């Protein structure tokens, strides 16, 4: 939404001198089958229907209005564009590098994006469509997050860099049991935990080595529950006991 | 700095409807002797010379201009208001809660603050003054960060809450060896590391217990160097080997 000034008063040269405007975007990761059938990290994207970057995929987002907090704006923009309503959402980073403006229209008003992120369970990944405007379905879709797994190599604005930063955070700063808790729910098997590692790292791991390395992992606790199913020896369920914040 | 619109066109009611404006603030922590002589966390504050909150202490900060990145704006505002130039500065959080506006002037334009933070060594803590404008000295000063150690209980805007959030981050999410690295330099003794713990936690620790708990601390490595000085048994120096990011 352009500000009153950029809409009405300013020409191109004046717009570039305006105070930066603010947008709120969201990076949502979920575990879904990848192109080889293995669980992979996916994210919802929205196709731009106007310039700049018309036709390209972008992160769900929009403006911050006067009457809402940053997190409320993130949730509202996400719900309006995708229909998603994650239980838990957190601030990732504020992006406002100068290159952002240069990759936009020439002389466009600078935009600073405050980005929120969330990890959601597969049962939370239904996108809006039926309830949306006509034609909205084909403009909102899940994509693999990593270009190495079939994700889009380019996105509108600097959104590719923002997603890469979110992937880096996921890979470097967060406990895998915590990621599993967010992506899978309260309880999960060690095989599911390994699949989360593989999805985040983007490569397969040896199951025996993986189980050995899990010894002493903080905040991972065996429960007295077992996964129900048709197997003669149902696997034990584990629980994440650490902090929820990403 | 008010935007062109808030300066010229808008009345109070219109200003409250403007898109939020952006400010960049900085929280800088350094270790300095506290009111009981023990090392304590201090931060530089700037006294406001105009309304709102005239006469109250505030975090160093200012506007984001069109030609600079968020970090460059943080560094420039910090240097202009205090003369400080930390080697390493990092984004802390973007604050934009609705309560911010209500604690400002009635109907004021909403301000979202992107806050950067840094931990600096004592030899980096000289404030501007001689080079600043006349009268600037008495309006820039170091204060204890925590009200429990003599710090100001109230600050302009929501800056007290921002500092409390930074203290919480320091206490909960960061390794103490990393804090010591930033506050003390490349190498430090275990006694200095304990003083850092005590300054961050705000309470004294038993030296023998502390040494026992340090066993197995990640990213803490004994060096072959010893602190030079007059003692007959100079203490060994340690090094932090983990990531530098806060």
Task: Average pLDDT across each block of 10 residues of chain A; the chain has 246 residues. List them in order.
Answer: 44 62 94 85 94 93 88 95 93 81 56 94 77 58 93 94 95 88 93 93 91 87 88 89 87
Asked whether A177 and A217 are in contact (CB, 8 A), the reply is: yes
- What tens digit of pLDDT does each residue of B175-231 get? 889 999 999 999 999 999 999 999 999 888 999 999 998 887 889 999 999 998 766
List all residues of chain B from 149 to 208 with a beta carbon under 8 Å from chain A. none
Closest to B29 (Cα-Cα) out of B157, B115, B156: B115
Residues of B in contact with A64 (CB under 8 A): 19-20, 96, 112
- What tens digit of pLDDT does each residue of B200-216 get? 998 889 999 999 988 87
Determine the topology of domain A4-172 in CATH: Nucleoside Triphosphate Pyrophosphohydrolase (3.90.79)
Which residue reads 């197995």 in tokens? Answer: B216
- The partner residue sitting opposite A4, judged by closest CB among B5, B21, B94, is B5
Q: What is the pLDDT of residue B115?
A: 97
Lowest-pLDDT range, B85-94, B121-130, B156-165?
A: B121-130
Asked whether B217 and B177 are in contact (CB, 8 A), the reply is: yes
- The partner residue sitting opposite B66, judged by closest CB among A16, A22, A70, is A16
Identify the residue among B68, B91, B94 best suited for mutation to test binding to A, counting A beta carbons within 10 A and taking the highest.
B94
Confidence band for B3, pLDDT divided at 50, 70 and 90:
very low
Q: What are phi and psi of B5, to 5 degrees?
A: -70, -50
Report ipTM (2 d.p.).
Answer: 0.80
Q: What is the pLDDT of residue A82?
A: 93
Q: Give the whole-angstrom CA distance, residue B244 versus residue A117.
A: 23
Identify the residue among A8, A15, A19, A95 best suited for mutation to test binding to B, counting B beta carbons within 10 A and taking the highest.
A19
In chain A, what are the domain boundaries? 4-172, 176-240
Residue A64 and residue B22: Cβ atoms within 8 Å?
A: no
- What tens digit of pLDDT does each residue of B6-65 get? 444 455 555 556 678 889 999 999 999 887 778 999 999 999 999 889 999 999 999 888
Identify the residue among B8, B66, B73 best suited for mutation to test binding to A, counting A beta carbons within 10 A and taking the highest.
B66
Residue B1 pLDDT > 70, yes or no?
Answer: no
Rounded to the nearest 5 degrees, what angle is found at the Cα of A178, between the Cα atoms of A173 and A179?
Answer: 80
Asked whether A19 and B23 are in contact (CB, 8 A), the reply is: no
Residues of B in contact with A4 (CB under 8 A): 5, 18-19
Q: What is the pLDDT of residue A215?
A: 82
Asked whether A43 and A145 are in contact (CB, 8 A), the reply is: yes
Q: Give the whole-angstrom CA distance, residue A140 versus residue A118.
A: 17
Query: Which residues is A119 bridged to in the sheet?
Result: A29
Residues of B in contact with A67 (CB under 8 A): 98
Q: Give the whole-angstrom CA distance, residue B166 versus residue B43.
A: 11
**Cis preceding-peptide flag for B52 (omega within 30 of 0):** yes
Q: Give the whole-angstrom CA distance, residue A53 versus residue A57.
A: 8
Q: What is the pLDDT of residue A108?
A: 63
Query: Which residues is B170 bridged to in the sheet?
Result: none
Asked whether B43 and B58 are in contact (CB, 8 A), the reply is: no
As its CATH architecture, domain B176-240 has Orthogonal Bundle (1.10)
A217 reaches B (C-beta below 8 A) = no
- Taking CA–CA distances from A18, the nearest residue in chain B reads B66
Between the CA atoms of A179, A185, A190 and A194, what dihedral angle is there, to the nearest 10 degrees?
A: -40
List all residues of chain A from 104 to 123 with a beta carbon under 8 Å from chain B. 110, 112, 114
Of chain A, the end-to-end C-alpha distance in Å amounts to 30
Closest to B30 (Cα-Cα) out of B20, B42, B14: B42
For residue A80, CA distances in Å to A27, A139, B43, B151 come to: 15, 13, 42, 44
Tokens in use for A44? 């919802």
């Amino acid at each position: 939404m352009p500000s009153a000034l950029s809409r009405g008063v300013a020409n191109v040269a004046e717009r570039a001198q305006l105070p930066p405007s603010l947008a709120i975007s969201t990076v949502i990761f979920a575990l879904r089958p990848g192109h080889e059938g293995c669980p992979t990290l996916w994210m919802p994207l929205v196709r731009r229907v106007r310039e700049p970057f018309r036709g390209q995929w972008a992160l769900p987002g929009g403006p911050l209005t006067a009457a809402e907090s940053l997190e409320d704006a993130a949730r509202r923009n996400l719900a309006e564009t995708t229909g998603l309503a994650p239980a838990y959402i957190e601030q990732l980073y504020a992006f406002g590098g100068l290159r952002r403006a240069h990759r936009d229209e020439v002389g466009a008003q600078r935009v600073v994006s405050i980005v929120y992120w969330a990890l959601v369970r597969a049962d939370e990944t239904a996108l809006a469509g039926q309830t949306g405007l006509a034609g909205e379905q084909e403009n909102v879709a899940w994509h693999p997050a990593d270009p190495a797994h079939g994700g889009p190599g380019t996105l509108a604005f600097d959104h590719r860099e923002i997603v890469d930063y979110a992937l880096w955070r996921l890979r470097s700063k967060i406990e895998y049991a915590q990621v599993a808790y967010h992506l899978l729910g309260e309880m999960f098997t060690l095989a599911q935990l390994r699949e989360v590692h593989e999805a985040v790292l983007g490569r397969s791991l040896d199951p025996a080595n993986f189980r050995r390395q899990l010894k002493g992992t903080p905040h991972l606790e065996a429960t007295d529950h077992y996964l129900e199913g048709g197997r003669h020896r149902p696997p034990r369920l584990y629980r994440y006991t650490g902090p929820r914040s990403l």
